[in-house]
Amino acid sequence: MSNHAGTNTGANTEENVKEMLDKKDYDQARRILLELLERKPDDPELNFFCGSVHDTLGLERDAVRFYEKALKNRIKGVLREKAFIQLGSSYRSIGLYEMAKRTLMQGLKEFPENGAMKAFLAMTLYNLNENRAAVSLLLDALLSSAGDKWINEYRRALKFYSENLDETW
């Protein structure tokens, strides 16, 4: 999260949120993140982490607006890469397949080697009945994923969704 909080209290609160996330205290982290966003609504990192917490709690529909805002406000680095994946995945999981496709394709323009992003896009293409493109992309992702940190990081989600391709939540 941004370290440009106006006071030490803000920075300490952000550190507390990181600790809560590490300890999987998602409800408390969500409450604090929402409070922090009231003071800094455009902070891209706060929005990203708030989206992640909502996602983790099964609130994908609510997570979307936070990921969108994180990307709109130019979140940077690895969190930008994650924001594309997580926003695309959230869109897909709630049945907004075209939006998922656009998001993941934009993410792949910026991060063309991201294997997890390719896998989430392949699932989205499957949902859109673009089966040839889905299988082609999935094979490409698998062939290039030997040791891919992104595939490993999102392995549980990819496994779950691969078994539930036709479901929405």
The pLDDT value recorded for residue 156 is: 81
The pLDDT value recorded for residue 1 is: 60
The pLDDT value recorded for residue 152 is: 79
* CA–CA dist 113, 133 (Å, integer): 17
Q: Count how many Cα atoms sit within 13 Å of the Cα of residue 105 in the half-sphere of its side chain.
A: 10
User: Which residue spans within 102-168 are E strands per DSSP?
Assistant: none
Q: Write down all domains in the chain, each with its CATH number in brackets.
A: 1-75 (1.25.40.10), 79-169 (1.25.40)
The pLDDT value recorded for residue 11 is: 56
* CA–CA dist 147, 163 (Å, integer): 22
The pLDDT value recorded for residue 90 is: 98
- Averaged in consecutive runs of 10 residues, what is the pLDDT profile of the chain (169 residues)? 43 75 93 96 97 96 98 97 98 98 98 94 97 88 77 82 80
- The separation between CA 45 and the C-alpha centre of its own chain, rounded to angstroms, equals 12
